[in-house]
Structure 1
């Protein structure tokens, strides 16, 4: 169980489920060729979660001092698992992820795409060792990497299968993936700032340069409140333009209950948020918004098929 906590298995399961939903709850229902067969797509999911697991492990290794301040009961490295063992796990999962990515890149005839997995792995290492200490840079990087876990589906499953006959529909499908990636980026960027609010004490003791440390808790909380209104407005406009306009009532109801409602709840609760417990609660709310938002692709697909 300690090893599962080390790689943050809950987050990996969410990531894997999200990628599986995009394939089996969306792309498989489109009248298009896909570049990867079933087991190759599963290998893409495996590569993604292995590299993500490596990122979590190296982050746990580098965050020992900070976690001892912020979450002493949740520290794994140095207590339940030695640092040497943690490094071995990091190297193992990273090599497996990059190796799977290298194989898939050659399968689709794009060997240069293997660099994607190498760059992501290197970025996760840099984030854990240095980038997270820089003002907003670490927040941006984490949010971008989550967004890319959606885009990579299009890069490996759609892009190699494009031809002159299907390029229009492929572009439309890639655009949908991009919309979801942008949604994931915006919400996760805000969530990373909320997590900085939650961890301000430990970050301050370790000399981190996070937004709450620079601006203070109250100013940062107000900024987060304002930022949270942006995705709320964008999601409402998106629902009106694409869901409601095309009579996708099931998708509309789902989005209003599981995405819009939490996005309204978040700024309301942010007004009174003051301590680590409050910010932790709000971080979970945003995590659920990301989860329900990405899962909506299956609801939309079902609604389109049922409506048709």
Structure 2
């Protein structure tokens, strides 16, 4: 169980869910009615998910290794490396998960006839290491990089499923569905960046002790809270624009977004404006994850939206 907590099994489960939703809720149902061409069979796609989760798990491990000093201040009860799992074991697991992810990525890239895609797995793996060891200490840079990598976990599905199957005849359809995936990736990026900013405020004490230069350390907790409050409006505007532009004619879809995405985002913004304590920001960080989950679950609705339109 300690190793499962080390690799953040709940976060990995959510990542896998998002990828499977993209394939089986948004792509597979439209193979016949819309002529969407997908590249990977069920086994091949499961390998893609496994590669993504393996590299993400390695990222969580190396981050925990470098964060021991910080976590001893911010969350001493949840420190794993050096306590329930030795640092040597953690490093070994980091290497093993990276090797698994990169090797599967190499195989899949050649399987779909896009050998250049292999570089993505190497770059993502490398960036996760650089993030943990250096980038996260830089003002907003680490937050942006890790949020881009979260978005990439969604884009990988489009890259491996849609782009290798593009032909002159289906180009418009393939790119239309890739654009939908891209829109969700932008949503995931903005929400994850918001969560990273909230976590920086939550973890200011340990980050300061570790010599990091996060937004609340550079500008102070109050100013950072105000900036985060303003930025929280961005994902709200993205969702509202998306619903008005693409979903306005589907009443039940609009209700879903209003009740489970837009309303929670408005509530989050209000609570963020009033947040003062570490407990407040911990709650808001968890709320962002819940909003992201409901946002991704909306993929299930596309079968009804597109087939009825």
Q: Same fold (TM over 0.5)?
A: yes
Cα distance between partner residues in 2 of 1:296 and 1:200: 34
> Is the contact made by 1:250 and 1:299 (CA closer than 8 Å) also made in structure 2?
no
Instruction: Kindly provide the CA deviation profile for residues 111-165 of structure 1, in whole angstroms up to 9, marking residues without a partner as x.
Output: 1211110000000000000000000000001110011111111111100000010
Q: Residue 139 of structure 2 aligns to a residue in which SS?
A: coil
- Which secondary structure does the structure 2 equivalent of 1:25 belong to? helix
1:157-306 aligned at under 5 Å gives the runs 157-244=161-248, 247-305=249-307
- Runs of 4+ in structure 1 off by over 4 angstroms are none
How far apart are residue 183 of structure 1 and its match? 0.7
Contact 2:199 2:282 in 1 (8 A): yes
What is the rounded CA distance, in whole Å, between the counterparts of 1:161 and 1:71 in structure 2?
A: 47
Separation (CA, whole Å) in 2 of partners of 1:163 and 1:124 = 34
Maintained 8 Å contact 2:198/2:228: yes
State the partner residue of 2:2.
Answer: 2
Does the 8 Å CA contact 2:150/2:188 hold for their aligned counterparts? yes
Q: Which residue of 2 is the match for residue 20 of structure 1?
A: 20
Distance 1:7 1:25 in 2: 27
**Are the aligned partners of 2:147 and 2:193 in contact in 1 as well (CA < 8 Å)?**
yes
Match of 1:60 in 2: 64
Q: Are the counterparts in 1 of residues 187 and 238 from structure 2 also a CA contact under 8 Å?
A: no
TM-aligned CA deviation for residue 252 of structure 1: 1.0
RMSD over aligned Cα atoms: 1.0
Deviates more, 1:69-78 or 1:229-238: 229-238
Q: Give how far 1:302 is off.
A: 3.2
1:99 to 91, 97, 103: 103
Length-normalised TM-score, structure 1: 0.97
Return the alpha-carbon distance in structure 2 between the equivalents of residues 242 and 127 of structure 1: 36
**Deviations along 1:88-107, whole A, 9 cap, x unmatched?**
11111110001110000010
Q: Does the 8 A contact of 1:196 with 1:210 survive in 2? A: yes
Pairwise mapping of residues 37-186 of structure 1 onto structure 2 (< 5 A)? 37-186=41-190
- Tell me how far apart the structure 2 counterparts of residues 216 and 76 of structure 1 sit (CA, whole Å): 30
What is the TM-score of this pair, normalised by structure 2?
0.97
Q: Is the 8 A contact 1:248 1:304 kept in 2?
A: no
Give me the whole-angstrom Cα distance separating, in 2, the residues matched to 1:35 and 1:20: 14
Structure 2, unaligned stretches of length 5 or more? Answer: none
Contact preservation (8 Å) 2:68, 2:81: yes
Q: For the Cα contact (< 8 Å) 1:248–1:300, is it kept in 2?
A: no
Residue range with higher mean Cα deviation, 249-258 or 50-59: 249-258
